[in-house]
């Protein structure tokens, strides 16, 4: 996968965020508090002035919940690459996202390449061997993110 983007993260701890209508984060103190689940995808708001090596906390937009922002400690975030982001967009379970990002690099499903042998478990069935044949967007099926195309290997 590509280099880590210092502006895209996954939240490792559930946090409280706020529904923002911006105006510099609602100076009138009327904020709707929202729970942001661990495994949520986040993007740094002020990316131009953000240096992850000199910062302890950062204000981010929660990409899973439109209009919600949270201020999080960097120690509670895991950076993800743009390629990982595109794959994670199609994982509905936030816990599974977190597991995929924090799994050892060599076994993480995020590190698959075209031609890799994988195990595919169809719903209600057992694992079957398959080969990754496509990784990329499928505009007809999803609005954002990438999918894996698999060739299932028939077993006789």
Judgement on whether residues 37 and 55 belong to the same structural domain of the protein: yes
Give the pLDDT of residue 32. Answer: 83
Could you tell me the pLDDT band of residue 17, with boundaries at 50, 70 and 90?
confident
- Rounded CA gap, 10 and 12, in Å? 6
Mean pLDDT of the chain: 83
Q: Which residue has the higher pLDDT, 28 or 123?
A: 123
Higher pLDDT: 2 or 156? It is 156
How does pLDDT run across 46-63, given as a tens digit for each residue?
766 777 778 888 889 999
- For residue 122, the enclosing domain spans 112-152
Q: Is 107 inside any structural domain? A: no
Could you tell me the pTM of the whole model? 0.74
**Strand 4-11, strand 41-44: pairing:** antiparallel
Residue 156 has pLDDT above 70, yes or no: no
Number of C-beta neighbours around residue 103 at 10 A: 13
61 and 91 fall within a common domain: yes
Partners of 136 in beta bridges: 147
One domain for residues 88 and 15: yes
Q: Does 32 share its domain with 97?
A: yes
Please report whether residue 85 resides in a domain: yes
My answer on whether 9 and 58 are in the same domain is yes
- What is the average per-residue pLDDT within 112-130? 87
Same domain? 9 vs 75: yes
Per-residue pLDDT, 146: 81
Residues 68 and 26 in one domain: yes
**Are 50 and 88 found together in one domain?**
yes
pLDDT at 95 over 50: yes
Same domain assignment for residues 62 and 139: no
Our count of domains for the chain comes to: 2
Q: Kindly tell me if the per-residue pLDDT of 1 is higher than 50.
A: no
| DSSP state, residue 97 | H
Phi first, then psi: what are they for 18, rounded to 5°?
Answer: -140, 145
Give me 92's structure tokens. Answer: 């509905």
8 and 78 co-located in one domain: yes
Q: Say which residue, 115 or 143, is predicted with more confidence.
A: 115
């Amino acid at each position: 996968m590509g280099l880590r983007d210092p502006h895209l993260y996954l939240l490792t701890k559930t946090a409280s965020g706020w529904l923002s209508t911006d105006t510099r984060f609602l100076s009138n103190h009327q904020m709707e508090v929202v729970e942001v689940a661990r495994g949520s995808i986040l993007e740094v708001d002020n990316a131009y002035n953000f240096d992850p090596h000199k910062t302890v906390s950062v204000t981010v937009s929660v990409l899973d919940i439109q209009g919600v922002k949270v201020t999080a400690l960097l120690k509670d975030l895991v950076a993800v690459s743009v390629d990982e982001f595109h794959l994670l967009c199609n994982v509905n379970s936030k816990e599974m996202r977190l597991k995929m990002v924090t799994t050892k690099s060599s076994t993480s499903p995020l590190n698959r390449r075209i031609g890799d042998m994988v195990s595919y478990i169809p719903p209600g069935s057992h694992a079957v061997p398959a080969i990754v044949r496509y990784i990329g967007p499928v505009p007809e099926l999803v609005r954002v993110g990438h999918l894996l195309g698999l060739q299932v290997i028939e077993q006789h």
